[in-house]
Amino acid sequence: MKMNDYFNAYTNYFWQWEDNAEVIAIPDHSTIAYRAFIKEVLAILSDQGLPPFGALLAAILATNAQGNVALDVLQQKFADEINKEGNAYLVEAFVFLKLLSEMPEEYKKGNKRVLLLQVIFENCHNIFSVKNSREIIRWYDVNKENTALFAEKKELNHTIYSRDFRTISLLGSRFKSVDAIIDKIASIPEVTEVIIPKEETRKGNNKQTFIDELIADNRTFQLGIFAERILSGLNVPFHRSLADQQPLGGISDVTNKGSFDKLLLSEFANEDILFLSRLANNEALYIEREIPPSNNKLKRVFLIDVSLRNWGTPKLIAFATMLAIAKAPKTATIECSAFSVGRSFKPIVLDNIHALIEGMQILEGSADASSGLSLYFKENPPDKDTELFLLTESSAAKQTAMYNSLGTYGPFINYYIHTDFDGNIDVFKKQQKSQKHIQHIKLPLEELLKKKPATAKLNLRNESVLNYPLLVRNATHVKQQLLAPNGELYQITGEKALVKKYDRFAKHNEKGWVIVHENIPFADGICEIVELNNGEHMLFMFHVQKKIIVLLNIATGDKKTVTFNEFGMNHVYKNFIYIDQSFYHKNNHIWRIGIDGTVELDSYIQEKDLFTIKKPLALVPDKSYTQGIFKNINDVFINENNNLVFNIHELHLKSNSYFKLEKTTHISSTNRSTKTKPNEFVFDDGSCIEVNRSGVLILKSSDENIPLIYIPSIIESALGLAAGNDFSGYEYYYKSPLVELILKKTGQNVLPQIQALHEQTDIPRHECGEIMHSRSLPRTIIQYVSMGKAETIRRMLEIHGSTIEIKEMPAKEQKLTIIPPSLFYDKYIQAFVKNIQSYGTKN
């Protein structure tokens, strides 16, 4: 076939070139498409093979604004042919075209329209090869100004319209409904059966990861399946500040700790008795040091190409690869952010499914992402503490504009990840002035696409604070410390957890902290705790770089994510001011962000009103314990003493009076667990232990009669344990009942009472005066304090004639009974251990 034959017009056919080949129209009727749009569509479809030109024009006609009317005109033109015997395919073709015209409006314009055409013509009948398709595009580019080539019409014959409309009719057998087309666009296979993963049936499954959530959601099932498979095979590049993953070699990497596969070969030269003696006494030498990783200061930024060549499968694989790296266990503590780049760049939210779906729908009609790349680096200058990943389709980087852009910004990009339509993933690492290929992965697309999403969701542990019946140690790595309007102290930890001091009046060594929420979106940025009209607290978070606002209701866990691009750092206002259920920010205008997530210009509040808002008091950093939280656990087993051992720390009942995780030499294993996930260890009977990085070990027995057991993950220190309705041990971890003080009558001598109240609480002196002079009694003085503190305040006020009532606050969870450590150990810990040990005898 000659290349120009593809664009031939025909006499008495349903389309023709007009206006010097700038327009394609129905003769004496409406326009079908302009040449610029046709060129854009052909460029995209050429990478999968072009359909017959007439078939493409018919589909474009059906998706025009008045497509249904134009189809009626078209059907009349073909009325005689439709009625002929043997032309049933024409009827089927018009049925499918009518179906296209009924697509939702959002799929009939912009980028989604092009994606629709790409999806329906994938592997269609009469499709041209990729090689011929590219030749057609090349001929079109060379001859687009030669209008005479397009003006000539050839005689129409049965073969022409049979080729075009038979292609359309066969599409109707693949897509029976509008929903079927939409599902294909979203890459979601039709659910024909329910498949529930085996992990769902095992008692005590680990908490759900974000990739698990993607797999559990039908809208993102395929993305999650791809990310899970990539994560299992991708060699995630090590972060530069993780010293233990970068052995230097030589004597510095020789240690007395390690797994047996790291034993020096010289150890095996010893005779058997000496060899075993060296192992038993921790004298054997291992290679590769085992030091805790340092805190990660570096950040990872992913730039995903959303230009034309990276649509469809390459973009899906790029998103899956990005998630595999960002959500990998090795990057759990690394802050990751992502942006789509095309004509411009836009932030992509990584911790919310709905926001992630919106990010995946960002498509740019540009030929390459060079403009977006330039804009990103213009607004985000290169930073030595940032690792950049560029994810794009393999051929996109070879385009002239993109090639030139990478010549400018390539030195700042650490990793290049190339994807394609066949499921290939190639990872390149910057090495001096070139790129080094470090890994190739081939995804089994057919196998993965056959998998079906399960309709039943995993029965996982709720991450609410109600599931932690004990307190934890305050974090040694605190990102932010926040003060609520009622004086309660919060911290955002390096593990992206929000914790609250349980008793704000207790000294740092008297009472622990409660885990309020885990897996908050980010730990840096502008943060504030505010009080809503119903008395609940809300965490306001704004990420300056991503331009993302997160509104988290601390009481209910409801979370809203909002994009806010109007933030300005050059004005007197460099943060947000909270007034009556709304946050305000002043840039060139005053913007209002409602607690429901609405963002709008505000014309009511005055700038002078913003200046009158009092600033929060400065916080004195809360002291930290020297003992760090035990996180890097690699081995869990039961030793010869029938005690649980974590690495080399044994859980003891010391002198029948207190619990302790203490270093031990008793490391012979009778029952060893298997590390199934980064923070989960499972024994043969199905019992498992979850390591929560905020400071809790959770024991889940396969025996349903044994409740969850909670142990603080602190070594070489007295511990407090909780299980069922019981608590035992160090009361630093005990959620003792909190009370409120109510002033029922004020004594005559008010001044010493104001002084006493001010000294015993953090209430400002003028507010103490308002309380003690109040004529509206009874009045609450303070809430959520310990009974001991409440008794002290009551005694000091009643000396001067006041009447004070102490009332216990409504408990959000069941009050635990304190029992002796020896009883708790036998009832729960030993029961957990014996159940594991008896597993083999039961069978």
pLDDT (tens digit per residue) in 22-75: 888 888 888 898 888 888 888 888 888 899 999 999 999 999 887 888 888 888
Q: Which residue did the predictor score with more confidence, 603 or 122?
A: 122
Same domain, 126 and 138: yes
Q: Of the spans 136-145, 481-490, 569-578, 689-698, which averages the highest pLDDT?
A: 689-698
Task: Extract the tokens encoding 451.
Answer: 């998998």
pLDDT in tens, 793-825: 888 888 888 888 888 876 666 678 899 999 999
Q: Give the pLDDT band (50/70/90) at residue 698.
A: very high
How far lies 270's CA from each of 112, 256, 277, 441, 450, in Å?
Answer: 70, 16, 10, 43, 54
Mean pLDDT of all residues in the chain? 80
Q: For 550-559, what is the mean pLDDT?
A: 85
| Phi, psi at 758, each rounded to 5° | -65, -40
- Which residue range forms the structural domain that includes residue 146? 3-185
pLDDT in tens, 98-154: 889 888 888 888 778 888 888 898 888 888 888 888 888 888 877 777 777 777 788
- The pLDDT value given to residue 272: 83
C-alpha–C-alpha distance, residues 249 and 39, integer Å: 57
How far lies 605's CA from each of 28, 322, 449, 583, 611, in Å?
Answer: 58, 42, 54, 11, 11
Q: What angle do CA 771, 773, 778 make, to 5 degrees?
A: 60
> 573 pLDDT exceeds 70?
no
Q: Is residue 194 part of a domain?
A: no
pLDDT in tens, 830-843: 999 999 988 756 54
Same domain, 161 and 249: no
> 187 pLDDT exceeds 60?
no
Q: Is residue 620 part of a domain?
A: no
Q: Is residue 763 part of a domain?
A: yes
- The pLDDT value given to residue 608: 53
Contact 208, 265 (CB under 8 A): no
> 457 pLDDT exceeds 60?
no
Interaxial angle between packed helices 353-360 and 313-326, expressed in degrees from 0 to 180 and rounded to the nearest 10: 140
Question: What CATH number is given to the structural domain containing 764?
Answer: 3.30.1390.10
Q: Is residue 293 part of a domain?
A: no
Question: What CATH number is given to the structural domain containing 355?
Answer: 3.40.50
Q: Give the closest residue to 148 by CA, choosing from 21, 14, 15.
A: 21
The model carries a pTM of: 0.47
Same domain, 552 and 417: no
Same domain, 727 and 743: no
Task: Extract the tokens encoding 816.
Answer: 């635990």
Q: Give the closest residue to 647 by CA, choosing from 618, 669, 625.
A: 669
Q: What angle do CA 744, 746, 748 make, to 5 degrees?
A: 160
Contact 418, 394 (CB under 8 A): yes
Task: Extract the tokens encoding 758.
Answer: 């001010």
C-alpha–C-alpha distance, residues 363 and 112, integer Å: 8
Q: Is residue 784 part of a domain?
A: yes
What is the residue type of 652?
A: H
pLDDT in tens, 275-324: 888 888 888 888 765 444 455 567 889 999 988 778 878 888 999 999 88
The distance between the two most distant Cα atoms of the chain, rounded to a whole number of Å, is: 111
Q: What angle do CA 239, 245, 248 make, to 5 degrees?
A: 110
> 240 pLDDT exceeds 60?
no
Q: For 630-651, what is the mean pLDDT?
A: 90
Q: Give the pLDDT band (50/70/90) at residue 637.
A: very high
- Domain count for the chain, please give it: 6
- The pLDDT value given to residue 708: 92
C-alpha–C-alpha distance, residues 115 and 430, integer Å: 33
Peptide bond into 485 cis (omega under 30): no
Q: Which residue did the predictor score with more confidence, 587 or 44?
A: 44
> 332 pLDDT exceeds 70?
no
> 748 pLDDT exceeds 90?
no
Question: In this predicted structure, which of 291-305, 648-662, 737-751 has the lowest mean pLDDT?
Answer: 291-305
- Distance between first and last Cα of the chain: 73
- The pLDDT value given to residue 194: 34
User: Which region, left, alpha or beta, applies to residue 51 given φ > 0 means left and ψ of -120 to 50 means alpha?
Assistant: beta
Quickly count helices (H) and strands (E) in the chain: 25, 42
C-alpha–C-alpha distance, residues 244 and 255, integer Å: 12
Q: Give the closest residue to 117 by CA, choosing from 46, 191, 202.
A: 46
Same domain, 495 and 571: yes
Q: Give the pLDDT band (50/70/90) at residue 204.
A: very low
C-alpha–C-alpha distance, residues 546 and 791, integer Å: 48
Q: Give the closest residue to 803 by CA, choosing from 753, 747, 739, 759.
A: 747
- The pLDDT value given to residue 813: 65
Q: What angle do CA 289, 294, 298 make, to 5 degrees?
A: 130
Count the neighbouring beta carbons within 10 Å of the beta carbon of residue 364: 23
Contact 572, 610 (CB under 8 A): no
- The pLDDT value given to residue 248: 52
Domain boundary among 426, 450, 474: 450
Contact 736, 787 (CB under 8 A): yes
Q: Is residue 201 part of a domain?
A: no
Same domain, 390 and 315: yes
> 498 pLDDT exceeds 50?
yes
Q: For 380-384, what is the mean pLDDT?
A: 82
Q: In the chain, what percentage of residues exceed pLDDT 90? A: 9
Same domain, 601 and 656: no
Q: Give the closest residue to 323 by CA, choosing from 423, 223, 438, 238.
A: 223
Q: Is residue 747 part of a domain?
A: yes
Same domain, 228 and 268: no
Residue 611's SS3 state is helix
Same domain, 577 and 718: no
C-alpha–C-alpha distance, residues 490 and 571, integer Å: 28
User: Which region, left, alpha or beta, applies to residue 73 given φ > 0 means left and ψ of -120 to 50 means alpha?
Assistant: alpha
Q: Which residue did the predictor score with more confidence, 508 or 644?
A: 644
- The pLDDT value given to residue 646: 93
Q: For 750-763, what is the mean pLDDT?
A: 82
Same domain, 793 and 697: no
Question: In this predicted structure, which of 304-308, 452-456, 535-539, 797-801 has the lowest mean pLDDT?
Answer: 452-456
Q: Which residue did the predictor score with more confidence, 96 or 474?
A: 96
- The pLDDT value given to residue 245: 47
Count the neighbouring beta carbons within 10 Å of the beta carbon of residue 40: 17
Same domain, 742 and 725: no
Interaxial angle between packed helices 67-77 and 53-62, expressed in degrees from 0 to 180 and rounded to the nearest 10: 130
Exposure of 220 in the CB half-sphere (CA atoms within 13 A): 25
> 195 pLDDT exceeds 50?
no
E-assigned strands of 296-397? 299-305, 335-341, 345-348, 386-393
Residue 723, strand partner residues = 709, 726
C-alpha–C-alpha distance, residues 23 and 424, integer Å: 39
- With a CB cutoff of 8 Å and minimum separation 6, the contacts of 501 are 474, 488, 489, 490, 491, 511, 513, 514, 622
Same domain, 791 and 644: no
Q: What angle do CA 530, 531, 533 make, to 5 degrees?
A: 140
Domain boundary among 417, 450, 483: 450
- The pLDDT value given to residue 617: 45
Q: Give the closest residue to 187 by CA, choosing from 235, 219, 163.
A: 219
